[in-house]
């Protein structure tokens, strides 16, 4: 009798173990097949505006979290790297090389960069995380992606465009070192207007005075001439606006490393740099250096010529030491590198009054950094500066996401 009961218990136990194993097998199979689909659904349900964060730390955490979530899916393999600021190791630029799991290596690489102008990283970071979570196609076996997050973590952290040396990094990527000693004589003539040394005051008279001085300069030459003189970049006044420095900053070291180790594995590389500030509010402007550059024909094929604001078009300007031109110089006989800048307009700076107001806010922020005012004035200056590069406007933020997706899809479509 005891033996019979033991046999019955054993059989029951065996049936339970088989049932448990069957359930486990079914669950494992379901997770294997449905995991990537379920992950995609989680990403798809996320509201686009939720990608915007309030600090450098929050933005970096979200970027790393987005990459980590994608790594758990079944469509990509990912390599990550962190490049620390040499003075503050808590400030890092993070990269994620996202590769498709195809039998043959991809021949194309799309590079998306953010935060070269520190405070502009809020928008750029949001777009990067959104792209990673919602815009990558694992079925496109010909293309890999490289995301470079927060190229200027110091500026991002401290809500400045420049790095700790007051250097505008998008004027610092000089190809010929001799250009570091070039003179911008037109800038030098208006240096006292651009870089006042007194303490900031914010009132009706100070604003009116700035506008009057700016209009006077415009009448003496033209708005286009003034823009070019200012925005081209300068390498003489180290505390001044648009200062390009006297030598490369540490970012050049890891950009060169990325180019030599990663770019060379692909036949075609498209570099996209994300910025905010210039242009018509709520509009994405596509910027490129010159209509005569070798890559212009390909850029026109992606976006159409009318859609691109080339620097040598009327009413636009060319810069010295910009990152995209530097990266394009990394082309080799076996690797072609082209690129463009996405710039999201905020203050209608393509118009005269918008251009003057944009310049005023740039002057105020730089002036207040070097010659600080009281706490109340400083807070007001900071708010004006933030509104210029990271507007807390739902309509703006929604438009940024929608337009970026449209234009980014054109790049992806070209490299299928």
CATH of residue 264's domain is 3.40.630.10
* pLDDT at residue number 223: 83
Look at residue 392 and tell me if it is in a domain: yes
* pLDDT at residue number 4: 45
Look at residue 2 and tell me if it is in a domain: no
* pLDDT at residue number 46: 74
* pLDDT at residue number 227: 83
> What are the residues whose beta carbons fall under 8 Å from the beta carbon of 125, sequence distance 6 or more?
51, 53, 59, 60, 62, 63, 114, 115, 149, 150
Cα 372 to the center of its chain, rounded Å: 29
* pLDDT at residue number 383: 98
DSSP state of 232: T
Look at residue 298 and tell me if it is in a domain: yes
For residue 68, the surrounding DSSP H or E stretch is helix 56-72
Look at residue 11 and tell me if it is in a domain: no
Look at residue 248 and tell me if it is in a domain: yes
* pLDDT at residue number 3: 43
Euclidean distance between CA atoms 131 and 43, whole angstroms: 10
* pLDDT at residue number 15: 55
Say how many Å lie between the first and final Cα of the chain, rounded: 73
For 8, 46, 241, 412, the CA distances from 296, given in Å and listed in that order, are 80, 36, 30, 17
Rg of the chain (C-alpha set): 26
- Range of the structural domain that residue 301 is part of: 47-176+241-414
Angle at 208 between CA 206 and CA 212, to 5 degrees: 115
Q: What averages of pLDDT result for each successive group of 10 residues across the chain (416 residues)? A: 45 49 41 41 67 98 96 88 97 97 92 98 98 91 96 98 98 95 93 96 96 94 84 94 97 97 97 96 95 94 95 77 96 97 96 95 98 97 98 95 97 93
* pLDDT at residue number 33: 39
Domain count, the chain: 1
Is pTM beyond 0.85 here? Answer: yes
Query: Whose CA is closest to 113, among 274, 251, 268?
Result: 274
Look at residue 205 and tell me if it is in a domain: no
Look at residue 230 and tell me if it is in a domain: no
Look at residue 35 and tell me if it is in a domain: no
């Amino acid at each position: 009798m005891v033996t019979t009961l033991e046999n019955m218990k054993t059989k029951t136990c065996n049936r339970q173990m088989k049932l448990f194993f069957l359930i486990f097998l079914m669950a494992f199979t379901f997770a294997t097949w449905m995991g990537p689909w379920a992950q995609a659904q989680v990403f798809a349900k996320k509201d686009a505006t939720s990608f915007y964060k309030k600090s450098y730390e929050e933005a970096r955490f979200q970027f790393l979290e987005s990459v980590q979530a994608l790594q758990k899916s079944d469509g990509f393999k990912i390599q990550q790297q962190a490049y620390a600021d040499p003075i503050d190791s808590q400030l890092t630029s993070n990269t994620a090389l996202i590769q498709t799991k195809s039998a043959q290596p991809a021949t194309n690489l799309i590079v998306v960069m953010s935060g070269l102008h520190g405070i502009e990283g809020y928008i750029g970071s949001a777009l990067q995380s959104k792209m990673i979570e919602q815009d990558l196609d694992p079925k496109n076996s010909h293309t890999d992606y490289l995301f470079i997050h927060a190229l200027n973590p110091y500026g991002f952290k401290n809500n400045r465009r420049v790095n700790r040396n007051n250097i505008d990094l998008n004027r610092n990527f000089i190809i010929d070192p001799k250009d570091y000693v070039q003179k911008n004589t037109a800038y030098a003539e208006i240096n006292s207007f651009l870089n006042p040394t007194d303490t900031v005051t914010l009132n009706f008279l100070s604003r009116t005075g700035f506008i009057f001085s700016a209009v006077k300069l415009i009448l003496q030459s033209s708005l286009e001439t003034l823009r070019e003189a200012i925005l081209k970049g300068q390498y003489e006044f180290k505390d001044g606006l648009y200062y390009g420095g006297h030598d490369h900053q540490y970012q050049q070291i890891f950009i060169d490393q990325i180019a030599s180790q990663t770019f060379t594995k692909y036949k075609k590389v498209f570099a996209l740099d994300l910025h905010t500030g210039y242009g018509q509010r709520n509009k994405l402007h596509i910027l490129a250096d010159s209509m005569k550059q070798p890559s212009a024909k390909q850029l026109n094929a992606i976006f159409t010529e009318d859609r691109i604001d080339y620097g040598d078009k009327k009413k636009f300007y060319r810069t010295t030491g910009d990152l995209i031109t530097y990266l394009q110089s990394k082309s080799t006989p076996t690797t072609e590198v082209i690129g463009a800048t996405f710039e999201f307009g905020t203050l209608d700076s393509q118009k005269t009054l918008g251009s003057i107001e944009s310049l005023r806010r740039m002057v105020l922020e730089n002036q207040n950094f070097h010659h600080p005012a009281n706490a109340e004035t400083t807070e007001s200056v900071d708010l004006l500066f933030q509104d210029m590069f990271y507007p807390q406007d739902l309509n703006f933020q929604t438009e940024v996401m929608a337009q970026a997706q449209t234009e980014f899809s054109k790049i992806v479509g070209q490299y299928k």
